[in-house]
Amino acid sequence: MRTILKIFQTGEPVLRQRARELTAEQIRSQEIQHLIEWMRETMYEAPGVGLAAPQVGLSLQLAVIEDKPEYLRDVAESVLKERERKPVPFHVIINPKITQQEGEAEFFEGCLSVSGFTAIVPRARSITVHCLDHKANQRTIEARGWYARILQHEIDHLHGTLYLDRMHSSTFMTLDNYNRHWKEKPVSEVLKLLPAPRLR
């Protein structure tokens, strides 16, 4: 039987706390292994490409990630190329640390804990992450493009940060309005049409 967890929405204190690290013994425990599977099912149900433990109410440095091939099926080839987006198999990151980042890319980004909204968020284009996997083995991940964005988004969750803290606030909008007015436009054009307000 599948277990679908509640996804906490912005305003919940757990989403603004720095999560605690897990020991190798804790990672290998039945409790954490069950949690990983439940988070996986919850991510699929949403659906999303990543889910961090604080989003299900647990202040732990653990996140699950997968960008399925079927999620890319209805995305224009030009958009996939611009975002450097390719399928990413399921995996777990625990106690992750970004040790290197290069370049910058700006794209619309959403979050399962800020349901129904999106905004343009600047992120590093490529990063290196050191973490533990679901068996507590050391792992180094080198990622670029959309995968690097997913990793940065989920690692932010583990430090109490939401994309709301990094976004271009003038581009914050409902998903309905994004699909109606902005979906087909290049990010550079959106930023020209929705410039940051000038301070008096």
CB 108 within 8 A of CB 120: yes
Mean pLDDT of 72-89: 92
Whether 41 is catalytic = no
**Can you give the pLDDT at residue 195?**
84
Q: Average pLDDT in the 13-29 region?
A: 98
- Which of 102, 104, 154, 189 is an active site residue? 154
With the C-alpha atoms ordered 86, 148, 7, 133, is the resulting torsion angle positive or negative?
positive
Q: Which residue has the tokens 């603004």?
A: 16
The pLDDT value recorded for residue 131 is: 98
The class of domain 13-193 in CATH terms is: alpha beta
pLDDT of 127 higher than 70:
yes
Residue 170's Cβ-count burial label (10 Å; 0-12, 13-18, 19+) is middle
Share of the chain above pLDDT 70, in %: 98
Q: Take residue 74 and report the two structure tokens written for it.
A: 């209805």
| Residue among 114, 100, 112 nearest 164 (CA) | 114
d(CA 47, CA 96): 23
- End-to-end distance of the chain based on CA atoms, in angstroms? 58
pLDDT tens string 101-124 = 999 999 999 999 999 999 999 999
Report yes or no: 49 and 66 within 8 Å, Cβ to Cβ: yes
Residue 198 is predicted with a pLDDT of 64
- Look up tokens 């996997």; give the residue: 133
- In the predicted structure, residue 184 carries a pLDDT above the cut 90: no
Mean of all residue pLDDT scores within the chain:
96
45-59 tens-digit pLDDT: 999 999 999 999 999
When pLDDT is cut at 50, 70 and 90, the band that residue 76 belongs to is confident
**Banded pLDDT at 75 (limits 50, 70, 90):** confident
What's the mean pLDDT in 47-76?
A: 96
